[in-house]
Amino acid sequence: MKIENVMRIAPRYLLVMLMIVVALGGTTSCKSKKKIAREQAAAEYAARVDQAKKDLTAILNDATDWSLKEKEERFSTIKSWNIQDEEVLKLIDLVEDKLARERAEADRKNEEERLKKVEDDRGKAKASKYASIENQLLSIAAAPDAATANAKINQALQLFATPDAPVLIIISQAGGFNDYDRPTTIKRYLEYLKDQKVYNNAIEQVKYDASGKITELELIKK
């Protein structure tokens, strides 16, 4: 083959070889990237499995300082990973049951606190409503002498329609029913306060007549 022909063919040959090398290199590079991606995914999955086991075990053994909300959020995140490891799946079942019981207990306590607050608020409102009457009863019990007590009794009786207005004292409550002490009258009850010098009840309810006078006083033992 003449040198001139070789010179004409050589560039074309080199170009083809270069294209082959590039193509082979590209294929190798693509396979390498896929392999790396698979390895990274496997490593991430293994790390999540390990972390899930640690966190779930810690929750199960009460070995964290997380609040219930934080534990629930962490548990939800772990479940979202959709891990199919057998040990993790068992731990998920155990922790799910534990958190359900803790949530039920927390809800129960919250309801108890809510009801207590409602009752406390009701008691405060009632105390405020009947504060003036309460103060009169307290002042009779705290009177320094009989003369002062008698004067305060006469003043307190002005609030009532009659000295014989009934006074009912609740000694216990159960199932929505009240158990009462022996009934008395306001006159006798005020004399009792003067003699005993102690007022250990609270006003539960007051009934009035059309003119605003008290017709019945209901107390409850503190």
0.75 surpassed by pTM: no
Q: Report the length, in residues, of the chain.
A: 222
Whether the predicted pLDDT of 25 surpasses 70: no
- Range in 23-27, 72-76, 122-126 with the lowest mean pLDDT: 23-27
187-191, Cβ contacts within 8 angstroms, sequence gap of 24 or more: 187/157, 187/163, 189/217, 190/137, 190/140, 190/153, 190/156, 190/157, 191/153
What one-character DSSP code corresponds to residue 4?
Answer: H
Position with higher pLDDT, 208 vs 6: 208
Whether 121 has a pLDDT exceeding 80, the answer reads no
Q: How many CB atoms lie within 10 A of CB 58?
A: 15
Using one digit for the tens of pLDDT, what is the confidence trace for 126-165? 667 899 999 999 999 999 999 999 999 999 999 999 999 9
pLDDT at residue 117 above 50?
Answer: yes
CA distance 140 to 151: 9
User: Which residue stretches of the chain are H helix?
Assistant: 3-60, 68-80, 86-129, 131-141, 146-157, 186-196
pLDDT for 42: 85
Checking if the pLDDT of 18 tops 60, the result is no
Which pLDDT does position 128 carry in this prediction? 72
